[in-house]
Structure 1
Amino acid sequence: MTYDVDAVRSHFPALKEGAAHFDGPGGSQTPDVVARAVHDTLVSAVANRGTVTAAERRAEHIVTDFRSALGDLLATDPRGIVYGRSATALTYDFARALARTWTPGDEVVVTRLDHDSNIRPWVQAAAAVGATVRWVDFDPSTGELSADAIAAQLSGRTRLVATTAASNLIGTRPPVADISTVVHDAGALHWVDGVHATAHVSVDRAALGADFWTCSPYKFLGPHCGVLAADPDLLETVRMDKLLPSSDAVPERFELGTLPYELMAGATAAVDFLAGLATADWDEEGAERSDRRGRLAAGFAALEEHEARLGDRLETALRALPGVKVYSNAAIRTPTLLFTVDGRDSQQVRGALADLGVNAPAGNFYAVECSRSLGLGDGGGVRTGLAPYTDDADVDRLIAGLEALV
């Protein structure tokens, strides 16, 4: 399968500034078709959703298209797609709502591999109702988080287990399906942070057994917002505070206020762009085409092959550099590498690379428990992440910069 990275890059105006971007895990650059979708929505007549005026119908179609696109991306019934300001905000909202069903002595399980947005909301919600929090450690030498480690913390009082589908700090992809099995055997719900994973791999939420899956379109070429995917029947059991006149239908009951139609249109365009990665054949108008789910699977297969090749090149070079320690060691990972350089503060390394036009940020990236478990404290390390627009020249520049630095 051929991946036309030049064709992909031609759709990213930001790349004309000349930087080599390895900062995708914190937010990807945006293709022109996504920006156009946002722009076109903002300059079109749009009103509150309805069926009477053209402006009302346009808003309704934007919302429907958004749910359909994200449903295709995550293999989820569109009625189970919830829009949110961010994945963090959605997690906090649902943590508070689900905690209403917990009682003192109930248990919630979190892991030290996760981004803090999939830890602190559950810790705080548990504290508010007197529930117990159980922690699961990962192996800091390998970066692995096993289903057995999760199972060891489960009991008849476990109500929810929160895990990541991929570590945003070191790239580890835990066995989500295996974890879901042990969680469900214990009678608990499995909440999965898919923010980092969704940008790199094809997702089938139901096949993975995730009761809830969150992701952020701005990590996969879209605008800044968040998405939650779940079975509509499960969402029917979750109650939240809402205004009296607002809809109580699923998924609208979770989307308070008027929706930002321009961001939803941009997210739809991002999904359509991902669906064209295998063929470099994009519909400039963003119109929905047939078999989007199948094209997404092909697009992600092409993307994984492209990122694996570049990732292998980069990782081999990094591990060969004297004084460089790589912390991304799991057998199955995203193309995200965390490393440190002996005798150099990671922020200094970041700055030196930035001077060369290479964007590789440093820190703990809100995965503070993970950073501490790795022995890096709150300072973390330098993180490099690949994206659909990364090419060999970008990798060459990063490697050359690090060789000069060490």
Structure 2
Amino acid sequence: MKQQEFPIEEIRSLFPALTIKDHEQVSPIYFDGPGGTQMAQPCIDRMLEYITTGMANLHGTFSTSIKTDRLLEEAREAVANLLNCAPEEVAFGQNMTSLAFQVAQSLRTFISEGDEIVVTQLDHRANVDPWLYLAKETGAVVKFLPVDKETLTHDLSELDKIITSKTKLVAIGLASNLTGTITDAESIFSKARTVGAFTIADAVHAVPHIPVDFKKMNCDILFCSAYKFFGPHLGIAVIKSELFEKLPVPKLQPAPDEIPYRLETGTQNHEGIAGLCGAIGFIEQLGDGENAAERIRSGMERLESYEQELSEEMESFLKAIPEVELFRASEKIRKTPTFAFRIKNINSREATRFFAEKYNLCIGDGHFYASTMAEVFPVMDTGGWIRIGFAPYNSLDEIEIFKKALKDLLLMKS
């Protein structure tokens, strides 16, 4: 899709944060999408509607309580359309990390001493540490699926030795929040299922950029976060109903124990859940189809196509700069619009401060909680990586501003 075919100005008009200007009347350029996108207007509208028309807790006989009950039903249906799962498989929580630790505690009864848990070097630590703690508490053995340092993909050459008859849990990220690598999770999960292991997908970085199909992937548990795809700070867990039904979760005695309420301890962020409906509605309005699920998938495909155009422009530029060391998989590997790089002889924090102060560019630096990768390479001696990640409200014009910023930085340091 070429930019003239994508309604970029219309899209940008739906993100109020893009209109804010600094003291020099310069609007920020948000290249920090992997850390969290800006909120879409439909999300804001739904949150305000819920807040201003009366809030209430669940399961009452009065109108505002009934409204909240219906809101949660709507939200589960929206997530089901987004991820191709059943509404009763959808649970909400504080964030992905909290939900992962909660699920890890619930899985303790299924893991025994000597069992094996497989995590990866490529993942964000939110899909590593909950399972490391689970191993520590149960006496299980942890194995890391290594990263191929040349291809920046999972090294599957010894997968048969890593996933064995002792393996009880395999946790894989669908896309790297650092390099953008979209992983071959389905084949890894297929291998895990042959030994009866639980399969867990971290889809936090994938859902904002590509269509994700829970049923097709056939994993047991999937996590994602609404604030990564134009919504509020809200965690989402999708758990296969047959596992969810037998998953023991610590609960208050009178609290509902049926799914999906089983995982939702205490009162949920109802206004955030309203915003989630608006965020998914934003994606849906970009697509075509006979029903909501088809329109959402079409909308995601449209976003991916546009972001690919942005990626091609940025990648060709970064590769042409001799001082830039880019950490990105080859053209043959499908990737999100996410770029991790270092600049020769310049600390990454110094570079991002220059970009922010001189050009109002919002660009992150550090390890981005992919800290195992920072040990594998290693990079923290120079402040870690600089990371640029696009969202569909970014434009080719903004990339041109970054090009000038980087050239000015290199000229200043020469």
Q: Does 1:81 align with 2:90?
A: yes
Aligned-residue offset at 1:230:
2.1
Show the counterpart of 1:358.
Answer: 361
Show the counterpart of 2:188.
Answer: 179
User: Which of residues 381, 385, 390 in structure 1 aligns to 2:389?
Assistant: 385
Q: Does 1:314 align with 2:318?
A: no
Aligned-residue offset at 1:98:
0.5
Q: What letter matches 2:137 in structure 1?
A: A
Show the counterpart of 2:23.
Answer: none
User: Where in structure 2 are the equivalents of 1:52-91 lying within 5 Å?
Assistant: 52-91=61-100
Q: Does 1:337 align with 2:346?
A: no
Describe the SS at the equivalent of 1:199. coil
Segments of structure 2 that go 5 or more residues without pairing to the other structure are 21-26
Whole-angstrom CA distance in 2 between matches of 1:37 and 1:374:
44
Are the counterparts in 2 of residues 151 and 183 from structure 1 also a CA contact under 8 Å? no
For these two proteins, the number of residue pairs brought into alignment is 397
Whole-angstrom CA distance in 2 between matches of 1:107 and 1:99:
13
Aligned-residue offset at 1:148:
4.5
Whole-angstrom CA distance in 1 between matches of 2:343 and 2:313:
19
Whole-angstrom CA distance in 2 between matches of 1:259 and 1:151:
42
Aligned-residue offset at 1:80:
0.1
Structure 1 runs of 4+ aligned residues shifted over 6 Å read none
Q: Does 1:132 align with 2:141?
A: yes
Describe the SS at the equivalent of 2:97. helix
| Aligned CA distance change for structure 1 residues 113 and 269 (closer, same or farther; 3 Å) | same
Whole-angstrom CA distance in 2 between matches of 1:87 and 1:149:
30
Aligned-residue offset at 1:391:
0.8
Q: What letter matches 1:396 in structure 2?
A: E
Show the counterpart of 1:367.
Answer: 370
RMSD after superposition: 1.5
Q: What TM-score comes out, normalization by structure 1 length?
A: 0.95
Are the counterparts in 1 of residues 366 and 380 from structure 2 also a CA contact under 8 Å? no
Show the counterpart of 1:243.
Answer: 252
Show the counterpart of 1:299.
Answer: 299
Show the counterpart of 2:408.
Answer: 404
Cα distance per residue 1:91-141 (max 9 Å; x no partner): 000111102221110110111101011111111111011111111111122
Describe the SS at the equivalent of 2:168. strand
Whole-angstrom CA distance in 2 between matches of 1:152 and 1:22:
40
Whole-angstrom CA distance in 1 between matches of 2:157 and 2:65:
51
Are the counterparts in 1 of residues 75 and 273 from structure 2 also a CA contact under 8 Å? yes
Are the counterparts in 2 of residues 214 and 227 from structure 1 also a CA contact under 8 Å? yes
Aligned-residue offset at 1:50:
2.3
Cα distance per residue 1:139-192 (max 9 Å; x no partner): 122101145544430111111001100011111111111111111112111101
Aligned-residue offset at 1:209:
2.1
User: Where in structure 2 are the equivalents of 1:161-180 lying within 5 Å?
Assistant: 161-180=170-189
Cα distance per residue 1:175-231 (max 9 Å; x no partner): 111111111112111101000001100110110122111000000000001001122
Q: Does 1:272 align with 2:281?
A: yes
Whole-angstrom CA distance in 2 between matches of 1:126 and 1:377:
28
Whole-angstrom CA distance in 2 between matches of 1:76 and 1:375:
39
Are the counterparts in 2 of residues 20 and 397 from structure 1 also a CA contact under 8 Å? no
Whole-angstrom CA distance in 2 between matches of 1:104 and 1:386:
43
Cα distance per residue 1:25-81 (max 9 Å; x no partner): 000001122111111111222222225211111010111011011111110000000
Are the counterparts in 1 of residues 287 and 297 from structure 2 also a CA contact under 8 Å? no
Describe the SS at the equivalent of 1:197. coil
Aligned-residue offset at 1:290:
6.5
Quote the sequence identity (%): 31
Aligned-residue offset at 1:390:
0.6
Show the counterpart of 2:234.
Answer: 225
Whole-angstrom CA distance in 1 between matches of 2:353 and 2:55:
44
Describe the SS at the equivalent of 1:152. helix
User: Where in structure 2 are the equivalents of 1:83-232 lying within 5 Å?
Assistant: 83-232=92-241
Q: What letter matches 1:14 in structure 2?
A: A
Aligned-residue offset at 1:336:
0.2
Q: Structure 1 stretch 111-120 or stretch 376-385: which is displaced more?
A: 376-385
Aligned-residue offset at 1:278:
3.7
Describe the SS at the equivalent of 1:91. helix
Q: What letter matches 1:117 in structure 2?
A: A
Describe the SS at the equivalent of 1:184. helix
Show the counterpart of 2:30.
Answer: 21
Whole-angstrom CA distance in 2 between matches of 1:368 and 1:277:
35
| Aligned CA distance change for structure 1 residues 57 and 290 (closer, same or farther; 3 Å) | farther
Describe the SS at the equivalent of 1:104. coil
Describe the SS at the equivalent of 2:212. coil
Q: Does 1:327 align with 2:346?
A: no
Q: What letter matches 1:360 in structure 2?
A: I
Whole-angstrom CA distance in 2 between matches of 1:7 and 1:152:
51
